[in-house]
Structure 1
Amino acid sequence: MTVRERTAPRLLGAGLVCLDIINRDGKVQYYNGGSCGNVASGLSFLGWENAVLIGQYKDEAAKLLNCNLDGLGVKRIEVKHGSLATPRIIEEFINGPQKEHRFSLVCPRCGRELPRLSPLPEKSVCFLELDDFNVFYSDRASKGIALLRKLFKDKGAWTVYEPNSSRNVNSLVTHALDSHIVKFSAAKVSMAIADTIRNESTHGATVLIVRTMGAEGLVYSYRTRNNTMSQWKHLDVQPVPHFVDSCGAGDWCTAGMLYSLVHKYPNFTTYLTHQDVVASLQYGQALSAISCCFLGAQGLIYSDVNEEMEKKLLGDRARLFTNSLIPATPSDILSSDNCEFCLLER
C-alpha cells in the first residue's frame, strides 16, 4: 500500500519522548513530554496514526510513559540504545504575575540528576521494517536519525527537523539542509543561523523554514515554484483566551502545521504555495494558542476544551479529537526504593 492510499496520515518520530513532571503549588502531575513525544501525541489526538522510536525503558516512569502512549494509540517501536531509565524533565512554576516556569534535570527531593536521552546510533535502526509513513519527524541529530531521514526521503515521505539547540551550528545546518521542513524557536536558534539555512537551502532539500518568536509571532520562508526560497515573511501571534502555561506551545504549532500541510500534500512536494503555507501555519498557531490555556505540554489532550474557544480559534477547520483520556499516575504504593517525586530508584 502506498503512502497516498492511506486514509489517515502517519508520522514516525525519533527523538525526545520523556516523562514531564509538573510541580505547581506543591501538586505534582505526570504527563508525557519531549518535542517528539508531544508532536506524535498531538497528531494522534487529531486523528493520525503515529509511532515513536523509544528506548527499552524498564523503570516506574516507563509504565506511565507507555500507558499514555497506548491510550492515544501511539505505537511504540522499542530500540536498544543508552540507558534503561526513562528520560524525564521537571517543570516547576514560579509564583508571580507572569506565570513563568523553569525546567530542571535535578530532582528537588532526592537531589539526583535525571536520566537523559541517548543518541540514536545507526545499528539501532538499520534492522527496522518501516511501514509507509507520510512523515519522519526528529528533534535530535545523530547518525541513526540521518540514516532514517535518507530512507524516508528516498520513498517520497516528508522529513521534519526541529532542533532542540544550536550548540553545534555545523550539525544543525547540515541536518536542516537535509530536511524538507525545518522549524525552531528564536530562543534556541539566532536569526543569523536562520539566515544561513535559508541562504544555503536553495541547494538543499528544504522547502519550508519556520522560526517562532513567542508573543511576536513567527517568520517563515518557503520554496516557490521557480525553485527559490522566498524572503522572510511574518505572521502575528494568535490571541490566547485564558493563559495558563506556554509549555509545549511550539510543539502544538508543529502538529497543526503538519496536520494541515500533509492532508493537502500526503507525499513530499518540491515547492509550496504561499496560501498553503499560511493556512498550515495559522492552524498550527491556533492549536498553540489553545494549548496555552492548559497546564503542561499535553494538558490539552486531557482537558475539556470549551466549544466556543475551539470554534473561535479553529473555525471550520478540523475539530479536536474528543475523548475521555486520563493521564497515568504512579502506582498507589511505590517501593521505598523509589523517590516519590521523580520515581527514580534510589
Structure 2
Amino acid sequence: MSNLGNIIGTGFLTLDVILNGSKKTPPKFQAGGSFGNVLTILSFLGFNTYPISRLADNKVTDLLLADIQKWDVNIDLIFKQEKGSTPIIIHRILKDKYGKPHHKFEFKNPNNGKWLPSYRPFLSKDVKKIEQCIPKFKLYYFDRVSRSSIELAKYARNNDALVYFEPSSYNNSKQFQESLNNSDIIKFSSDRIKNYKEIFPKNNSILEIETLGIDGVNYRFKSDNWIHLKPFQVNNVIDTAGAGDWSSSGIIKMIATNGELVNQTNEQIEQAINYGQALGAINCLFEGARGAMYNANLEDVDKLTSLLINNQFHKASINFKDNTSEFDYSVVESLFNSI
C-alpha cells in the first residue's frame, strides 16, 4: 500500500454493533463515529492515521481496537483508562413495508433500557504530552468541540498542517467559534446545521462544504459565494450510513495530495468533492458505515468510483470478498449484559 503521509485526529470514536433485524444473522462489530470512520477509511486509502482518544478499559474497547487494527490504524495514541468511555451505537439495517432499506441508530441498552456509554474527550492537560508523540503530519481532523481538540487544531496550524473540522451540530459558544477560526476546511450536513449560511454569510475558512444528502453538495472556496455540485447515485442501495464519512475521506485524500490548499483551483476542489461523493455512493451498496472496505479491495473501490464519476457504472464488474462475520448473536447478548 502506498504511503500518502500522516494524518491525526480526535473526536467521536464508537463501537458500532451492526444488526439487520434477525437474530439468525451474525452481527458485526466495527469501529464507528465520524472521526473513527474517517481515520480508518483514510488508512484504507493509503495514509498513516493516528487517532487520539480516551476510551474505557473493557471488552467494548477491545472489540473496537481489534477492528481498526485490521486496517493498519496506529493505536499508540488511544488510551484505555478507568475513567475513559467507549461509546456504543446500535446500527440496525431494516426494510420498510415497500422493501426499501433504511437504518436507525439506537443509544440505549436493549437488555435494560439504560443509556449506552457516551463520548468523553481526552483531557486538555494531556495535550502537551500527546504533541511530543505525534509524527509530522499533513492534516488534523476533528468532529467534536472541546478544549483539547481546539488546542490540537492550533498545534496543527503552527506546524503547517491543514485543519479539517466536521461539526455534528451548531452552538454559539466561544469554543465553537474558536474551532471555526482555527480550521482550514469546514464540512457540515444541512440536516444538522440548517441555517449555517444565514449565521455565516461570510466564509470562516478557506473551504466550506455543505452536504445535502441526495441533493448533492454546496461549497464555497476562497469566496463568500456558494457553488452547487450534483450528487452521484447508484441503484440497489443497501445502507446509506457512512456516506458522509467516505465523502470526507475522499475530499481529504485529494486535497492533502494536491499541495497547498490556498493555491489549489476550483477545478481541483470540485474534483476532490466529486471523488468524495462518489466514494460515499459506492459505500451505500454495502452494509455498515465502512462496508465497502470489508467487501472490496482498494483497487476495486477506486475502479467503481472512477466508473461512477465517468457515467460508466453500468460497466462495473467486481467479485466482492466474503464478508461473513466471525461472531454470533450470543456475543451481542453477552456484551450488553456486561454493561
What TM-score, normalized by structure 2, do the two folds share?
0.85
CA distance in 1 between counterparts of 2:38 and 2:322 reads 17
Q: 1:328 deviation in Å?
A: 7.6
The alignment status of 1:15 with 2:11, answered yes or no, reads: yes
Contact 2:57 2:82 (8 Å CA) reproduced: no
Secondary structure, counterpart of 1:89 in structure 2: strand
The alignment status of 1:148 with 2:152, answered yes or no, reads: yes
Q: 1:84 deviation in Å?
A: 3.7
Structure 1 gap segments, 5+ residues each: 1-5, 224-228, 316-321
Change (3 A) 1:80 1:95: closer
Of the three residues 227, 240, 245, the one matched with 1:246 is 240
Secondary structure, counterpart of 2:262 in structure 1: coil
Letter in structure 2 aligned against 1:90:
I
Superposed, 1:166-185 pairs within 5 Å as 166-168=170-172, 171-185=175-189
Secondary structure, counterpart of 2:233 in structure 1: coil
More divergent stretch after superposition (302-311 vs 256-265):
302-311
Superposed, 1:189-204 pairs within 5 Å as 189-190=193-194, 192-197=195-200, 199-201=202-204
CA distance in 2 between counterparts of 1:237 and 1:72 reads 28
CA distance in 2 between counterparts of 1:118 and 1:328 reads 29
Letter in structure 2 aligned against 1:22:
I
CA distance in 2 between counterparts of 1:198 and 1:79 reads 40
More divergent stretch after superposition (42-51 vs 248-257):
42-51
The alignment status of 1:187 with 2:186, answered yes or no, reads: no
The alignment status of 1:313 with 2:308, answered yes or no, reads: yes
Tell me how large the CA RMSD over aligned residues is. 2.8
The alignment status of 1:88 with 2:88, answered yes or no, reads: yes
Of the three residues 326, 330, 333, the one matched with 1:340 is 333
Contact 2:236 2:285 (8 Å CA) reproduced: yes
CA distance in 1 between counterparts of 2:322 and 2:12 reads 22
Letter in structure 1 aligned against 2:247:
C
Match of residue 254 from structure 2: 260
Match of residue 106 from structure 1: 108
Letter in structure 2 aligned against 1:220:
Y
1:234-262: CA deviation from partner (whole Å, max 9, x where unpaired): 00110124211110100000000011111
CA distance in 1 between counterparts of 2:92 and 2:54 reads 26
1:126-154: CA deviation from partner (whole Å, max 9, x where unpaired): 21122101010000011111110101100
Superposed, 1:34-183 pairs within 5 Å as 34-76=33-75, 77-79=77-79, 83-96=83-96, 97=98, 98-128=100-130, 129=132, 130-168=134-172, 171-183=175-187
Change (3 A) 1:273 1:325: farther
CA distance in 1 between counterparts of 2:304 and 2:157 reads 38
Secondary structure, counterpart of 2:145 in structure 1: coil
CA distance in 2 between counterparts of 1:323 and 1:12 reads 30
What TM-score, normalized by structure 1, do the two folds share?
0.83
Q: 1:327 deviation in Å?
A: 8.7
Letter in structure 1 aligned against 2:281:
A
Contact 1:81 1:118 (8 Å CA) reproduced: no
Secondary structure, counterpart of 1:136 in structure 2: strand
Letter in structure 2 aligned against 1:146:
I
Contact 2:111 2:337 (8 Å CA) reproduced: no
Change (3 A) 1:13 1:82: farther
CA distance in 2 between counterparts of 1:161 and 1:325 reads 35
Match of residue 319 from structure 1: none
Letter in structure 1 aligned against 2:113:
G
1:124-183: CA deviation from partner (whole Å, max 9, x where unpaired): 222112210101000001111111010110010010100111245654343123200000
Contact 2:85 2:120 (8 Å CA) reproduced: no
CA distance in 2 between counterparts of 1:15 and 1:82 reads 19
Secondary structure, counterpart of 2:256 in structure 1: helix
Structure 2 gap segments, 5+ residues each: 311-318
CA distance in 2 between counterparts of 1:277 and 1:82 reads 43
Contact 2:185 2:208 (8 Å CA) reproduced: yes
Contact 2:53 2:121 (8 Å CA) reproduced: no
Secondary structure, counterpart of 1:75 in structure 2: coil
CA distance in 2 between counterparts of 1:32 and 1:61 reads 10
Contact 2:247 2:275 (8 Å CA) reproduced: yes
Once the two structures are aligned, what percentage of the paired residues are identical? 26
Of the three residues 291, 295, 306, the one matched with 1:299 is 291
